[in-house]
Each structure stands twice: as structure tokens, then as C-alpha cells.
Amino acid sequence: MKRRTFITLLAVGPVAACGRPAHATIRGLTMGTSYTVELAAPIDDAVRTRLTQLIEVELAAINRAMSTYDARSELSEFNRRQDLGWVPASRGLLEVLDRASQISTASQGAFDVTVGPLVDLWGFGPEIRTRRVPDDAVIERVRQSVGYQHVQADLSAGAIRKRDSRIQVDVCAIAKGYGVDRVAMVLDRQGVHDYLVEIGGELRARGTTAAGKPWRVGIERPVEGRHVVGEIVALENRGIATSGTTEDFFEQDGRHYSHIIDPKTARPVERPPIAASVIADTTMEADAWATGMVVLGPERGYSLAQARGLAVMFVTASGSTFDVRVTDAFRAHLLG
């Protein structure tokens, strides 16, 4: 849903030394970024055409439901709504808002899809505007229209509602992960069982590579403007997502202001550059938690992740070196 310069994130697909990793690759553009599907087995032209078509249809439906860059999307329409009553919603939007609300509660409000007005205020929204630190009074005013408790999804009734008309939902921190899960489901339904799906650095793997090995993913970090692979993880039927404060930011008076907003302070997370990677059963969960973990930071986030058994890795830059902190559940995925 958002185009951004792509700095710290994942090396897509299997990293070096995997031998011949994939027999077929399908690529395309979606959500303001690119997607890649790596298949372990070769496919003929007819199968490629069919799979590509099914994937594109699925991704287009997700964009129509939840892009905030499309004023006609279902979510944009919901955001404009002043009425506080229940309104029927598509399955995708329901699932995303329901899971978002659970992760908001579990992350003590660090992950919050209602940060939309703050994202816009700080200049990271769909509208192109000059990025500068807003006035305190304006920040105070805008924060009044943020609060995840003000959006509800009722899966059984198939409806959503807002409890405050000022609420603006921004699903950028979870939608790519959801898209990956949906593309994986398309492949499952077509009987494809060995694949790696990636959208804008969020990713999911199933089965094995052509060599019969688990898919391996290198997690990159920026070193002097280049991308260098740091840790390598093996993924079996899991999703992984990474969020970072060096992905999209501006600087003013020597301070760093990132696109990830702490809903508690209504300001970009204050800390040196930091990235968090999360491995979970679904990429949607990994995506949301990765954003939440950046907000919580390597101390509070680490304790929470350990307590919940979440697989999280924090990378913080200190001078020219990196501090890496992994939870027990994450360590189990590390290679080497």
C-alpha cells in the first residue's frame, strides 16, 4: 500500500549457497511495492499463466478492499463514514481488522491501525507533503482521534463499525502480510506445496526448495549504504516480517523521525535506528507484531515477546556495529 525506499529488510528468497533454489519465479507489482513467488518445481506456460492470473486477482481484491491510496477502496469509504452504526464488510477487511484489534490489545496498544491521522500529520500518509515536526498543540489535537478500541469487527455478523467518527484506519502495517497469506492460499488451492511468497519484504515459506532443503532467508542490515546479510533463518510453513525505522524517515535538527509512530506519545518512535523481525504462523501476524515490536523497543518488546513465546529479533545500531537480541523462539529458527 505504500511505496518506500527499502533499506533494512529481507533478502528475498533463499540466500547464497542454497544451490539451485527455485525452478520458477513469478513476479509482479502490488501495494506500492513488488511481489515474488518462488516455486521449487518447474511449471509450464499454461500453469504459469493460470497461477499469475489467480495471484493478480487476489491481490487486486485486497487493494480494492483496504488500500488507503485508493479513495474508492472499501476502507477509504469506511474512513469517510460519519455514521457509527455497523456496516457490512468484505471478508478480507474483517479478518485484518479483527486480527489487528487482537494484536493491539496484546501489544498494549503499540500496534494500532487507527494511527492514520498521526501518520498523515507527520507526513507519512498517502498525501505528499513536506515532512517537518508539527506543533505540539496540533499533535495533541490529532491524537484525540486515535484509539484502537474505537474500531470493531464482528466476524460472525460480517460487519465493522467505528465508535468515534474521527477514526481513520491505516492497515499499511499488516496488509502486506495478509496479502502474502492470501497468495499462499491461492497456491495451496492449486496444489502447489513448495513455495516462498514475498511482498515488499514480508514473506512466507512452505515445503522445501528444489534441493529438498528448507527455504532460507537472509535478514539484511544497512552498512554504509549497502545491504549486508546478517542472520539467516530457516522457514518451514511460517511467515516472517521485518519493520525498521530506517525504512522511511526524515531528519530535522539532527533528530531522526521514522514512519513508525508510537500511539502513546503520538510521535515517531524515539530511539536510535532499530529493526525488528518476527516469525509467526501467519505473515499477517508477523507483520503486525514486527511494527508493534519496533514501537515497544528491544527492552519492553523483548520481555513481552519472551513472555508470550513470540519469535522476535531486534537489531539496533550502535555506532558502526549492531546489537542483536533474539528471543528463545526466534533462536530456534537461526542457522549457523
List, in order, residues 6 or more apart from 292 with CB less than 8 Å away: 103, 107, 110, 111, 301
CB nearer to ligand AMP: pick between 2 and 206: 2
Q: Which of residues 93-132 bind ligand AMP (CB under 6 A)?
A: 111-113, 115, 119, 124
The string of DSSP codes covering 85-154 is S-EE--HHHHHHHHHHHHHHHHTTTSS-GGGHHHHHHTT-SSS-----PPPHHHHHHHHTT--GGGEEEE
**Total Cβ atoms within 10 A of residue 18:** 16
Which of ligand AMP, Mg ion, none interacts with 119 (beta carbon under 5 to 8 A by kind)? Answer: ligand AMP
Alpha helices (H) along the chain = 45-66, 74-80, 91-106, 116-121, 136-143, 175-189, 283-308, 328-331
Cα distance between residue 265 and residue 110, in whole Å: 10
Instruction: State in angstroms the smallest separation of the CB of 189 from ligand AMP.
Output: 26
Give CA torsion, residues 34, 281, 108, 248, to 10 deg.
-20
Pick from 38, 181, 220, 287 the residue near ligand AMP by CB under 6 A.
Answer: 287
287 lies in the binding site for Mg ion (CB under 5 A)? yes
Instruction: State in angstroms the smallest separation of the CB of 289 from Mg ion.
Output: 8
285 lies in the binding site for ligand AMP (CB under 6 A)? no
Q: Give the interface size with Mg ion as a residue count (CB under 5 A).
A: 5
Instruction: State in angstroms the smallest separation of the CB of 160 from Mg ion.
Output: 20
Q: Which stretch binds ligand AMP (CB under 6 A): 42-50, 180-188, 289-297, 306-314?
A: 289-297
Crossing angle, helix 175-189 and helix 283-308, to 10 degrees? 120
In contact, 3 and 33? CB cutoff 8 Å: yes
Chain centroid to Cα 192, Å, comes to 24
Which of ligand AMP, Mg ion, none interacts with 2 (beta carbon under 5 to 8 A by kind)? Answer: ligand AMP
Which of ligand AMP, Mg ion, none interacts with 263 (beta carbon under 5 to 8 A by kind)? Answer: ligand AMP
List, in order, residues 6 or more apart from 226 with CB less than 8 Å away: none
Pick from 11, 31, 121, 172 the residue near ligand AMP by CB under 6 A.
Answer: 172
173 lies in the binding site for Mg ion (CB under 5 A)? yes
Q: Give the interface size with ligand AMP as a residue count (CB under 6 A).
A: 19
197 lies in the binding site for ligand AMP (CB under 6 A)? no
289 lies in the binding site for ligand AMP (CB under 6 A)? no
**Total Cβ atoms within 10 A of residue 122:** 25
Give CA torsion, residues 42, 240, 330, 304, to 10 deg.
-160
Pick from 96, 232, 260, 305 the residue near ligand AMP by CB under 6 A.
Answer: 260
CB nearer to ligand AMP: pick between 236 and 299: 299
170 lies in the binding site for ligand AMP (CB under 6 A)? yes
- The binding site for Mg ion (CB under 5 A) comprises 173, 243, 287, 290-291
- The binding site for ligand AMP (CB under 6 A) comprises 2, 111-113, 115, 119, 124, 170, 172-173, 243, 259-261, 263, 287, 290-291, 295
